[in-house]
Amino acid sequence: MLKLNNAVLLLVDIQGKLAHMMHEKERLFANLRKLIKGIQVLGIPVLWVEQNPVGLGPTIPEVADLLTDSTPIGKMSFSSCRNDRFLQALKNLDRNQVLIAGIEAHICVYQTAVDLVNMGVGVQVVTDAVSSRTAENKAIGLQRMRDAGAGLTSVETALFELLEVAEGEAFKALLKIVK
């Protein structure tokens, strides 16, 4: 089970023109926004990475506009775990559960998830907040991540699992976000 004091959200490569080529991009963008807003309500830290930001461009405004209190970590490797700045940022948070969302499911999300699992980190892939250019590649990425030991979840499942109770201000705020 995900725990508030042990989880971090990792957003992977939601950038430029590539993001707009994703299968069901409108649904992806809407779910990413719900996930980020919900995570912020719960006070969970967010890390975000950008693949070759000079070549692919910045994180799309639909996502970046919600992350004004942090900056992305640029990387050239497909796996975020092959980037020292990312590894140090994760280590500094001292958390051992990573919710992962972003693109592309079968490349950067997949390689990052597998590397995290191999490092002993609990990984939950937010299936409705990841995508690839084709549905087939998304399905392959999800299958391979699951086979490697990552769990699969959804935006609502993850948020309410972290919340644990159906009461309080955070519960009311999450209800507004997911509706």
Domain range 7-178, its CATH number among 3.40.50.850, 3.30.70.260, 3.40.630.30, 3.90.550.10: 3.40.50.850
Q: What is the per-residue pLDDT for 79?
A: 97
| 99, 8 contact by CB (below 8 A) | yes
| 38, 174 contact by CB (below 8 A) | yes
**Sign of the Cα pseudo-torsion (118, 81, 52, 153, in order):** positive
Q: How many other C-beta atoms lie within 10 A of the C-beta of residue 120? A: 7
Cis omega before residue 24 (within 30°)? no
Tens-digit pLDDT profile for residues 81-122: 999 999 999 999 999 999 999 999 999 999 999 999 999 999
Q: What is the per-residue pLDDT for 99?
A: 98
* pLDDT value at 80 more than 90: yes
Tens-digit pLDDT profile for residues 22-51: 999 999 999 999 999 999 999 999 999 999
Q: What is the per-residue pLDDT for 12?
A: 98
* pLDDT value at 3 more than 90: yes
How far, CA to CA in Å, does 3 sit from each of 10, 102, 154, 166, 168? 15, 21, 15, 16, 17
* Domain ranges, ordered by start, for the chain: 7-178
Tens-digit pLDDT profile for residues 116-172: 999 999 999 999 999 999 999 999 999 999 999 999 999 999 999 999 999 999 999
Please give the average per-residue pLDDT across 9-20, as a whole number.
95
Confidence of residue 69 (pLDDT cuts 50, 70, 90): confident
